Amino acid sequence: MGQKERSPYYLAAIKVIKKIPKGKVATYGQIARLAGRPQAVRAVAWFLHSSSKKEKLPWHRVVNAKGEISLSLDQGYFTQKQLLEKEGVHFSLYDKIDLKKYQWSK
């Protein structure tokens, strides 16, 4: 019984993130919308940051609205880029992802 209670929104967001298929990416706004709270993008970012490890989330498949990696260079930037390239996601110059091509459409 040591389980900590989590909000329905947390659970919904996690569930959505886990559904992102390999080789595709989703934006924070997209996840927030699918989870039922379109304006809670910052919460989604927090969930991802705090629980990606224990929930075993495909965190690297989440990028910002511009199709860029949101991490700074001294954080997981390269790790995320490598993971995505390994799944076949192509980065253009300036490390941008073509969302029209790679964004997950439900």
Give 61 or 90: the residue with its C-beta nearer to DNA: 61
- Both tokens of 15, joined, read 């569930």
Beta carbon of residue 37, minimum distance to DNA (angstroms, whole number)? 5
56 part of the interface to DNA, by CB under 7 A: no
Q: Are 35 and 12 in contact (CB under 8 A)?
A: yes
Tell which positions 62-101 bind DNA, by CB under 7 A: 62, 64-66, 70-71, 75-76
Q: How many residues bind DNA (CB under 7 A)?
A: 28
- CA 97 to chain centroid, in Å, comes to 13
Measured CA to CA in angstroms, residue 42 lies from 24, 29, 30, 94 at distances of 21, 9, 12, 25
- CA 61 to chain centroid, in Å, comes to 5
Binding-site ranges for DNA (CB under 7 A):
6-7, 9-10, 27-29, 37, 39-43, 45-46, 48-50, 52, 59, 62, 64-66, 70-71, 75-76
